[in-house]
Amino acid sequence: MTLIYDAGALIAADRGDRLFTLVHEKALSPGNPPPVIPAAVLGQVWRDGAKQARLARLLKSVSIEPLDETTSKEAGILCGRSATSDVIDASVVALAMRYRAGIVTSDPGDIAKLIDAYGGVFRPSVFVV
């Protein structure tokens, strides 16, 4: 299963959080596609690569997904449907729906609200770190 990491997941990675490390190692098992980070999520947490060595290492093992026009529109629609304004979280959910992926987050409440607003048959698994 593909995993999508939100900002909370990247912050956990940067802190060396043990639970995140276990989830990420499992995601890197042979046969699994690499985890995905929306580029805008990376922008939320990247401050100084010299001080974020763990995060810099993590980036070598993931796929960075650009916030393109399609994803931006999907995220905007999700914000409208859910009466929220966090386009970055909405982009995480939009990508999870597109990839039929799980979401790794530290904020399951906001993510659940966006998933509910998306609707549909598929409901991503949410892993809390």
Task: Please report the pLDDT score of residue 26 as a whole number.
Answer: 97
Distance (Å, rounded) from C-alpha 127 to C-alpha 62?
17
CATH code of 3-128, in short, is 3.40.50.1010
Nearby residues of 73 by Cβ (< 8 Å), 6 or more positions away: none
pLDDT, residue 49, reads 85
- Interatomic CA distance for residues 120 and 33, integer angstroms: 24
Query: Which residues of the chain are under the pLDDT cut of 50?
Result: none
pTM (two decimals): 0.95
pLDDT value for 84? 95
53: Cβ contacts below 8 Å, ≥ 6 apart: none
Contacts 24+ apart (CB under 8 A), 105-112: 105/6, 105/8, 105/9, 105/129, 106/6, 106/7, 106/8, 106/9, 106/11, 106/12, 107/6, 107/8, 110/84, 110/86, 111/6
